[in-house]
Structure 1
Amino acid sequence: MNFKLRVWENPWRLMLAVNAAVLVGVFLHKIALPPYVPYIHLLVDYHFGFTKRALIGAIISLFTVKIPVWLVFALGGAVWLITAGLFVQLFRRTFGFDKRHLALFVFMTGSPFFLKNFMHTLGHFDIYGCLFAICLLLIPARSLAYVLLAAMFSIVLVLIHHIHLLMYVPTIAAIVVLRHYLVHGTSRPNVAVGITSLGAVGALFLAAQFYGTIPVPEREFVAYLHSRMADPSQTKLLSFSYIWYQPLSKEIWDTWQRLPHNLLGAPVFALLIWLHTPLWRYFRNLIAALSIDAHRYIVTATIIIVSLGYLIMFAMVFDYSRWVSNWAVCMFLILHAVKMLPASKDVPPISADDRKTMAFGWIVALIPRVGIVRPF
């Protein structure tokens, strides 16, 4: 009874409860949908040689030959739970769970850009980039081993899907710069390791993009995927096999053909970003409070570089709702990295008593997700 009373007395706690209920609804809706793209990614491995988007399927093939459809939700759900749990740990370590930071916690965990949209895209590869970035924010960044670990994470992400080079690798690089290079300085060895790592990740991306195509006819490829299905009657789940044969030029052409229609969602994306104004204002204040001028310039530069990567993705692939959502998640993660830098003063947290902020918090908590291509 006392717990219920405390919840009603603190609307931010109630927002978290409502957000949890919305998450359950998103999950129930998701498992009722056919997992076209996520399922076929579990079937593809390195049977025909080096292949793009095949790492997860190759790892699964080490344990089982036949892939059931439910594995999409089991694997995706497990990764989602790990990511959510590690983010809660990250927030606790960076800010703490006191009353002062509860509103900030709601704007992040309750954001339709973040955990709720990862639930809607359950089985897609986006969340792996977020998971690795959170790990890099949690572990110590004292030595070159940190830079090498970040490089290894980036390589794994590119093998999962080469679009991670634009989606989460820039954010991982930003975290390494902010947590390692700004704290420990630049020396010839650590700069050399960083440049070499970037070169290796870039070379792998080019190999995946241009040499990771399937060398056999599509009919033979589909027949192999069909042989790996636990339920061969679900042939409709193989309808996206063409993406392993589609050249980059065709993807760009499709994106620009759909651009006029997909851009109709831009005002909705802008509105959703605007609803997070209290969070962006707090982020701006954190940057302004940094005690070293060079740190402020470098943080600003990393935000611009990460954002440019997403603009390039907008021109190449039309999953706009996913790109906007992951961009926002990258900003959340960079915010944590900025908080770890030395500051000249304490930045007041998001006001929990401001009525406008509270209204934004309720709307953010109630919106179930952003989507994959178009808003909602």
Structure 2
Amino acid sequence: MTARILQNPWRLLLAINAVIIVGVFVHKIQLPPYVPYIHLLVDYHFGFIKRALIGAVVALFTAKVPVWLVFALGGTTWLATSALYAGLFQKTFGFTARTLPLFVFIAGSPFFLKNFMHTLGHFDIYGCALAIILLLMPAGSLLFVATAALFSIILVLIHHIHLLMYVPTIITIVVVRHYLTYGSNRSNVAFGAVAVLIISALFFAAQFLGTMPIPEADFVAYLKSRMADPSRTDLLQFAYIWYQPLAKEIADTWGRLPHNILGVPVFALLIWLHTPLWRYLASLIAALASATHRRLVVAALVGVSLAYVVMFAMVFDYSRWISNWAVCMFLILHAVKVLPAKQEAALIPAEDRRTNLFGLILTLIPRVGIVRPF
């Protein structure tokens, strides 16, 4: 029995991942939610500003925001995203003994659901959830392109950095599922181009015109008026975010670079541990029937990765960025799988000793972190 489990451990690894996720949640709810909480307080009371959509939605339902709402809202979003991904995996691959290693490498990756649990309340997961919905939707009409544009607008209003974080992946999904699968013509290409221009204009408006228009002391006073417990002034220490210009963010990032860059070897190791998954993605691309499709998919992977390079130069939450980059690769893998192929790509082997070892190591890593590894 033990020998069989060691040879084919994937069900056990899946169970261990579930236990670890519960442990990460228990740990997370004991930590003060500095950045996530203040985002629930900020709304459009003083006009259009950046990072205010979630707080504006919360304000429609409650005038006073309790701290526990961070974990309730974040937990609900996490559960919804997990369910959406399970549905996506079932649609793309199905749950069988042959596909279980692939599911464990993706869903059990420390980059994915486990790290979203560690960053509970942050805005990253919304991009992932909306991208998964696009992967599940019918893609044959312009309604799909319009929905993708709407989702991108929502994400930029949640946080303008989504233009680099998940909007390139959403564009890739639209190109693969709509334009490559159903064809392109003058009207749908023009529609997509206008949508990209609108989203880009919104980003620049949020970045350069979305600064809080009142003194910081008045802003903090307003935030206190929305707190269920105004004595928790420690949770307002990041109010400066709504006043900080881009130049200051970049200067802070480069000032921390000598210390934060020490985490790069760890990120490289974590990426290397996903080698069986990357090989499968490469096999999917190589198996595509159209050479044009292969070139466009490779270009999309490079484009998404370059967007994250820009993020690395601008904002120093490196563990979050590398984790979300990996999630984007996972989602693009699903998009590539539906393109016409000349042959079936071989799945991750279920009984390969090295693959099993990599799966075990990734399973035991509880998360990647927010700024520095772990």
Q: TM-score range by the shorter chain?
A: over 0.9
Find the partner of 1:213 among 211, 214, 219: 211
Return closer, same or farther for 1:5/1:24 CA change in 2, 3 Å cut-off.
Answer: farther
Determine whether 1:367 maps to 2:365. Answer: yes
1:82 to 75, 80, 83: 80
1:39 to 28, 37, 42: 37
Contact kept? 2:8, 2:350, Cα under 8 Å:
no
1:284-325 per-position Cα deviation (integer Å, ceiling 9, x unaligned): 000000001100000000000000000000000000000000
**Distance across 2 between alignment mates of 1:96 and 1:51:** 43
Quote the Cα distance in structure 2 between the aligned partners of 1:272 and 1:278.
12
Q: Equivalent residue for 1:259?
A: 257
Q: Are 1:190 and 2:188 matched, yes or no? A: yes
Which whole-Å CA distance do the structure 1 matches of 2:43 and 2:6 have between them? 51
Question: Which of residues 234, 247, 250 is equivalent to 1:249?
Answer: 247
Q: Does 1:334 align with 2:337?
A: no
User: What residue number does 1:314 align with?
Assistant: 312
Query: Does the aligned pair in 2 maintain the 1:133–1:172 contact within 8 Å?
Result: yes
> What corresponds to 1:343 in structure 2?
341
3-state SS in 2 of match to 1:52: coil
Please state whether the residue corresponding to 1:348 is helix, strand or coil.
Answer: coil
Paired residues for 1:146-295 under 5 Å = 146-295=144-293
Identity rate of aligned residues, in percent?
A: 70
Is the Cα contact below 8 Å between 2:220 and 2:236 reproduced in 1?
Answer: yes
Q: Cα RMSD over matched residues?
A: 1.4
- In 1, distance between residues paired with 2:98 and 2:345? 11
Instruction: Output the CA distance in 2 between the equivalents of 1:216 and 1:69.
Output: 25
Q: Which residue in 2 is equivalent to 1:107?
A: 105
Per the TM alignment, residue 184 of structure 1 is displaced from its structure 2 partner at its CA by 1.5
Deviations 1:329-353 (CA, angstroms, capped at 9, x unpaired): 0000000000010100011100111
Distance 2:365 2:3 in 1: 25
* Structure 2 SS opposite 1:246: coil
Question: What residue in structure 2 maps to residue 131 of structure 1?
Answer: 129
* Separation in structure 2 between the aligned mates of residue 5 and residue 312 of structure 1, nearest angstrom: 47
| Cα offset, 1:146, TM superposition | 0.4
Gaps of 5+ in 1: none
C-alpha distance in 2 between matches for 1:308 and 1:288: 22
TM-score (norm 2): 0.98
Asked if 2 retains the 8 angstrom alpha-carbon contact of 1:113 and 1:329, the reply is: yes
The Cα of 1:55 is off from its aligned counterpart by 0.2
1:251/1:317 contact within 8 Å kept: yes
Answer yes or no: is the 8 Å Cα contact 1:101–1:349 preserved in 2. yes
1:22 maps to what in 2? 20
Distance 1:166 1:181 in 2: 21
SS at match of 2:99: helix
TM-superposed CA distance for 1:232, in Å, is 0.9
How far 1:186 sits from its partner (Å)?
A: 1.2
The alpha-carbon deviation at position 235 of structure 1 amounts to: 0.6
Partners of 1:32 and 1:170 lie apart in 2 by: 34
Distance 1:191 1:183, change over 3 A: same
Contact preservation (8 Å) 2:7, 2:351: no
Q: Is the 8 A contact 1:8 1:14 kept in 2?
A: no
Distance 1:301 1:126 in 2: 24
- 1:48-67 pair list within 5 angstroms: 48-67=46-65
Q: What CA distance in whole angstroms lies between the structure 1 residues aligned with 2:10 and 2:121?
A: 30
Q: Alpha-carbon deviation of 1:64?
A: 0.4
Secondary structure of 1:290's counterpart equals coil
One-letter amino acid matched to 1:327: W
- Deviation, 1:5, is 12
- Offset at 1:118? 0.2
Report whether the alignment pairs 1:358 with 2:340: no
Q: Note if contact 2:7-2:353 (Cα within 8 Å) is conserved in structure 1.
A: no
Structure 1 residue runs of 4+, over 2 Å off?
4-10
Task: Name the residue aligned to 1:325.
Answer: 323
- Give 1:8 deviation, angstroms: 7.9
Q: CA separation in 1, counterparts of 2:230 and 2:155?
A: 29
Size of the aligned set, in residue pairs, is: 374
1:98 partner letter: T
SS of equivalent to 1:99 = coil
Query: Cα distance, 1:10 vs. partner?
Result: 4.2
